[in-house]
Amino acid sequence: MAIALVLVLVVIGSVLFHVLSPWWWTPIASNWGYIDSTLVATFWITGAVFSAVVLFMAYCVYRFRHKEGQKAAYEPESKKLESWLTAITAIGVAAMLAPGLYVWKQFVTVPKDATEVEVVAQQWQWSFRLPGADGKLGTSNARLVSSDNPLGINPDDPNGKDDVVVEAADLHLPIDKPVKMLLRSIDVLHDFYVPEFRAKMDMVPGMVTYFWFTPTRTGTFEVLCAELCGTGHGFMRGIVMVDTAQDYTTWLQQQSTFAQLSGPAKVGVLVDRGKVTASME
């Protein structure tokens, strides 16, 4: 008998926990409200099914528990009942799948006006690269990674010269502008994960992966690594700041380009400085 009561309590407890507990997702900061809606719809459908099945079990256990002289019914199958249940289940499943696939179509269709932003992961830090005035990122290759060129940007690619490099520092993004995050790793698998953006994607060495979103709320958001990447995995953090257009421009102007950071440019500056020093002497 206790079991029938416990089954009822499991349902009531689970529903109350869902409604009353303080644990819910973080306030959304991207355009993926559809994902949240699909998730909420899934909660309702699955919650109803769970409650119905467990309460039905509880009733059966209460009603048909063994008593002296009781005999079970003999009913091997019922085609009609089984067909109905199959059909209803199929409809319920389709009701969850259809909106899911519809939103997935949007998720994988990057808008044409999305700005590309590159995230480069390595054990255990995040770096970023933004296209310069030409709007294009230069090519890259893990084989080119060195202490002078930590992101492995191809020095022979003219598109890469004006790329803005943000090494192991915060990334800023302008609000309400769609961004295509190009994801690259130079060592192991990582995953660029900002809970408030809802979207995430693994970063795989040897290839470039991506996802897109539009930041819809200014603020400071923590980046976590969501794919096990070694002992530092739990401590691989970064910051994304979503700015107003004005703040973003200010930040962008303070950043250095690949050409400014890389070897030849440095030499150039030193040579210039050397000349100045020489002339002063």
The sheet that has 125-130: what strands, in order across it? Answer: 209-213, 179-185, 115-122, 125-130, 164-166, 256-257
First to last CA, the chain: 99
CB of 153 to other proteins, least distance (A): 14
Residue 49 within binding range of other proteins, rule CB under 8 A: yes
How many CB atoms are closer than 10 A to CB 98? 11
Judged by CB under 8 A, the number of residues near other proteins is: 100
62: which residues sit within 8 A by CB, 6+ positions away? 1, 4
CB of 278 to other proteins, least distance (A): 36
Q: How far is CA 181 from CA 130, 156, 164, 273, in A?
A: 10, 24, 15, 38
Among positions 251-270, residues that touch other proteins (CB under 8 A) are none
User: Which candidate, 179, 218, 174, places its Cα nearest to that of 199?
Assistant: 179
From candidates 71, 80, 113, 253, binder to other proteins by CB under 8 A? 71
From candidates 50, 154, 169, 214, binder to other proteins by CB under 8 A? 50
Q: Which stretch binds other proteins (CB under 8 A): 111-119, 163-171, 218-226, 250-258?
A: 218-226
Among positions 147-206, residues that touch other proteins (CB under 8 A) are 147, 152, 183, 186-189, 191, 193, 195-196, 198-206
Residue 139 within binding range of other proteins, rule CB under 8 A: no
Strands 256-257 and 164-166: antiparallel
> Between 162 and 243, whose beta carbon lies closer to other proteins?
243
CB of 120 to other proteins, least distance (A): 11
From candidates 134, 148, 156, 222, binder to other proteins by CB under 8 A? 222
